[in-house]
Amino acid sequence: MGHSHAHRPYVSRRDFLRRSAIVGAAGATAASGAWFWQQPAYGTETPVSQVHVNFGSDAAREMTVSWMTPGPVRSPFVQLGGDRVAAQTVQYPGYPGYFHHARLTRLVPGTSYGYRIGHADKTVTPAYGFTTGPRGREKFTFTAFGDQGTDLATTAQQPIQPSMNTKLAQSFNPAFHVIVGDLAYANGDQKLWDEWFDMISPMATSTPWMPCIGNHEIESQLDVLGTGDSWGEWGYDPYLTRFALPGNGYPELENCFYSFRYGSVVFISIDNNDVNTEIKHNIGYTGGRQRLWVEKALAAAHADKGVDFIVVLMHQAAFSSSSRHGADDGVRETWLQLFARYSVDLVLQGHDHNYERSHVLAGDQVVADVPNKLDLGTAYILCGNGGAVQDSFDPVQPAWSAFRQALKIGTLKVEVDPLTSNGMSRLTLGEYWALDGSPIEEGIVLEKNAKSAPRQADTASGTTQSADQGAAAPAITLPAADAPAGTTLIGVEAAGTTGLAMHVRSREEALDERASLM
């Protein structure tokens, strides 16, 4: 890993507390190291950058808009039509900028919104737009990769490809993008976080990027200054402060792991630094709380008849034949039995810088009699080829490995169809090369028998829903202000309001049989 970039002056936690007291900016602190500020009066011309959006736990109803200012500002907000939603401001020790998060709730499913960002009674950005997820069963596409970095990072693949891969992902017009750890490869250099967010912002202002934590999100001063200090107890302060992700019920572990629902799919993001055997720094840091939470989230998904697929996002891999890291025993021991018991359909992994797709697996055994049949197993995709220098594979391809590619940076595209015309629920996968968009592989169909209710029109919101889903709650429609053509602004609620509960559904097919194979 490279460490050639200069680091901004570090402020120790003790010095930060002292300075906070002096300037009167004392506020509540989180165990993660994010610091909450009561803003004094400052200039109105402070610029805004690193704008990005993230779903709340219910993508149909909740969105968070986040951004950075290089200095403090008064009363930061998001403007939606005639409404202003106040943002919460946080900062972490050692970084001079300020991060602002405005949580939008009570949105209308399947609706496009326009927004602008401002502070001190003045909007300061052009109009951006995002679209909420559907209520109920709908087709959609999402994209994924991990281990990206920036064009300027020494970890970047040559020729430089991280930004090209972002543009490729954007070209697929996905509903959202997931990145499975090792986002910026800052390694202690906070300038690289800034560069990474600036790189993805053209896409992330309108398309949510939903991340999980990788080992390079553990940041230490040792990387840059040769000291043993770090950004927070877990080294996570930059990551935890720059994102505002769905809650998990543990305020001290906020942003470390979470879930969200998009349509009839539940996504669960896991921090494998807690359970892996290779990266020692944070093993066991959640005290078992993450595993308990994951099991509850999976059990809820298993019990809810409105969910057609469960997708897990994690960094260190349960299945990888890379010669660099490979499969991690701690990850396998912690999760494989739970994934089988609760019928996880797809697991997206990173850490190794390659692309590799497994056969459908029951536990760690190939489901050979019914290829690509998700009723009987789980598919694992290693998509750590987001932009960092590629790794090689072991010479012998394991029996569980269906396809692998070690030489190309790329984007995974997943097309979700919960209810096809022939009565199947289907995921169609393709992997595409960042340099020219050509397919590395495509048209990979993973499917299961659909036991879904037929889709029916939801005339109130213009979306569709299944018969077992309730109609969208009524909302007030506001006129769009300086937004793209056709954009409307609807029903928002002030930041800090408790979000909607995550919706999940169960599966009845083949679960006991799969669990018994463990």
- C-alpha torsion sign, points 152, 158, 159, 160: negative
Hey, what are 285's tokens?
């840091």
Decide if 163 contacts 151 (C-beta within 8 A): yes
**Phi and psi at residue 247, in whole multiples of 5°?**
-70, 160
Q: What is the pLDDT of residue 220?
A: 79
Query: Which own/partner contact pairs does 438-446 have at CB distance under 8 Å and 24+ positions apart?
Result: 440/355, 440/405, 440/408, 440/410, 441/357, 441/403, 441/405, 444/357, 444/372, 445/372, 446/345, 446/346, 446/360, 446/372, 446/374, 446/379
With a cut of 70, which residues of the chain have pLDDT below it?
Answer: 1-44, 154, 158, 221-229, 369, 451-518
Hey, what are 312's tokens?
């897990």
Q: What is the pLDDT of residue 152?
A: 81
Q: Could you name the CATH architecture of 13-130+475-490?
A: Sandwich (2.60)
3-state secondary structure of 379: strand
| Predicted confidence (pLDDT) per residue in 307-343, tens digit | 999 999 999 999 999 999 999 999 999 999 999 999 9
Hey, what are 295's tokens?
């099991």
Taking the model in full, what pTM does it have?
0.82
Contacts of residue 459, defined as CB under 8 A and 6 or more positions apart, other chains included, come to none
3-state secondary structure of 263: coil
For residue 310, the number of C-alpha atoms closer than 13 Å in the C-beta half-sphere is: 31
| Predicted confidence (pLDDT) per residue in 257-268, tens digit | 999 999 999 999
Contacts of residue 14, defined as CB under 8 A and 6 or more positions apart, other chains included, come to none
Residues of the chain with CATH 3.60.21.10: 144-408
For residue 245, the number of C-alpha atoms closer than 13 Å in the C-beta half-sphere is: 28
For residue 364, the 8-state DSSP code is: T
Cα–Cα distance, 228 to 188 (Å, whole number): 12
Q: What is the pLDDT of residue 286?
A: 98
Hey, what are 177's tokens?
């993008």
Q: What is the pLDDT of residue 156?
A: 72
For residue 341, the 8-state DSSP code is: H
For residue 299, the 8-state DSSP code is: H
Residues of the chain with CATH 2.60.40.380: 13-130+475-490
CATH no., domain 144-408: 3.60.21.10
